[in-house]
């Protein structure tokens, strides 16, 4: 018996990067996985890999910035795979600007995609999880929520918001069999990290005790732990696979 056998997971932003690694790790652990992403073709490629691992997968194109798109996507994922046990709020974007120069639209997009979506996707799955009196919600925050960074005030603020949301929702639903937790990765070698200014990346890696970015496969195990029976006593926690960037 694998640790996630019989469970159905939705992973937002599961078409590539950290989300893809989580989707594949869940499939290896026996879960069925719906990959919800803007990038339909990449999502379908991830689902093909899930099927190669012997799991059931489902690709659904959706924009986590859009409430109707989220609700329709969660509904179609649940009807394709039968139920929902695990939601990973992973989809996210990155941009960089000093606050003095930051366009309001850059701030608003960050809040829409990296924070508001976590509320909307969580709200969309809660009725089913509350009815079955079990569920796992795992939110991907960032170590920058704790530490902050020049040119990333909007990102750090959104990710700190994710932690506050995680703790508050955890309070609301823990006694209904639903756990809500966050993962705060350090720098991870993905398209998103590579899109940051080179000066930021070089400085960040130089200050890291471990001296290198993580691979996506060094982050996914934290999600498997939180999703599995072994993770049942984590409530409102933040797991910090961050290479020592911020030691808490």
Q: Which of 8, 9, 11, 18 binds ligand NAD (CB under 6 A)?
A: 18
Nearest to 44, CA basis, from 65, 64, 23, 25: 23
**175 vs 194: CA distance, rounded Å:** 41
Among 86, 113, 137, 138, indicate the residue that binds ligand NAD (CB under 6 A): 113
161 binds ligand NAD (CB under 6 A): no
Separation between Cα atoms, residue 109 and residue 245, nearest integer Å: 26
Q: For the chain, what is the radius of gyration of the CA atoms?
A: 17
Cα end-to-end distance, the chain, whole Å: 34
3-state secondary structure of 156: helix
Q: CA angle, corner 178, sides to 53 and 148, nearest 5?
A: 85
For residue 75, is it left (φ>0), alpha (ψ between -120 and 50) or beta? alpha
| Of positions 16, 116, 136, 146, contacts ligand NAD by CB under 6 A | 16
Between residues 80 and 134, which has the closer beta carbon with respect to ligand NAD?
80
- Please say which residue, 39 or 83, places its beta carbon nearer to ligand NAD: 39
113 sits in which H/E element? none
Of 135 and 185, nearer to ligand NAD (C-beta) is 185
State which of positions 58-97 bind ligand NAD (CB under 6 A).
Answer: 62-65, 90-93
* Nearer of residues 65 and 231 to ligand NAD, judged by Cβ: 65
- The nearest distance, CB 122 to ligand NAD, in angstroms, is 14
The question of whether 155 is a catalytic residue gets the answer yes
**What are the phi and psi torsion angles at 113 (to 5°)?**
-85, -35
- Residue 111 interacts with ligand NAD (CB under 6 A)? no
Tell whether residue 154 is a contact of ligand NAD (CB under 6 A).
no
Residue ranges that bind ligand NAD, judged by CB under 6 A: 13, 15-19, 37-39, 62-65, 90-93, 113, 140, 142, 185, 187-188, 190-193
Residues known to be catalytic: 155
């Amino acid at each position: 018996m694998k640790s996630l056998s019989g469970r159905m997971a939705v992973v937002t932003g599961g078409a590539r990067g950290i989300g893809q690694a989580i989707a594949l790790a869940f499939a290896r652990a026996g879960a069925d996985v719906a990959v919800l992403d803007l990038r339909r073709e990449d999502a379908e490629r991830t689902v093909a890999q899930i099927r190669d691992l012997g799991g059931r997968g489902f690709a659904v194109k959706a924009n986590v910035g859009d409430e109707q798109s989220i609700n329709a996507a969660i509904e179609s994922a649940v009807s394709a795979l039968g139920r929902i046990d695990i939601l990973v709020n992973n989809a996210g974007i990155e941009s960089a600007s000093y606050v003095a120069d930051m366009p309001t639209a850059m701030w608003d997009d960050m809040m829409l995609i990296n924070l508001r979506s976590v509320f909307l996707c969580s709200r969309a799955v809660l009725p089913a999880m509350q009815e079955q009196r079990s569920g796992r919600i795992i939110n991907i925050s960032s170590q920058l929520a704790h530490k902050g960074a020049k040119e990333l005030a909007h990102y750090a603020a959104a990710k700190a918001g994710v932690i506050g949301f995680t703790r508050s929702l955890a309070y609301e639903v823990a006694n209904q069999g639903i756990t809500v937790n966050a993962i705060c990765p350090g720098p991870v070698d993905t398209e998103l990290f590579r899109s940051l200014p080179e000066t930021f990346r070089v400085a960040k890696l130089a200050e890291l005790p471990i001296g290198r970015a993580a691979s996506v496969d060094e982050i996914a195990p934290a999600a498997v732990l939180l999703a599995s029976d072994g993770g049942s006593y984590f409530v409102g926690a933040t797991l910090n696979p961050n290479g020592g960037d911020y030691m808490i």
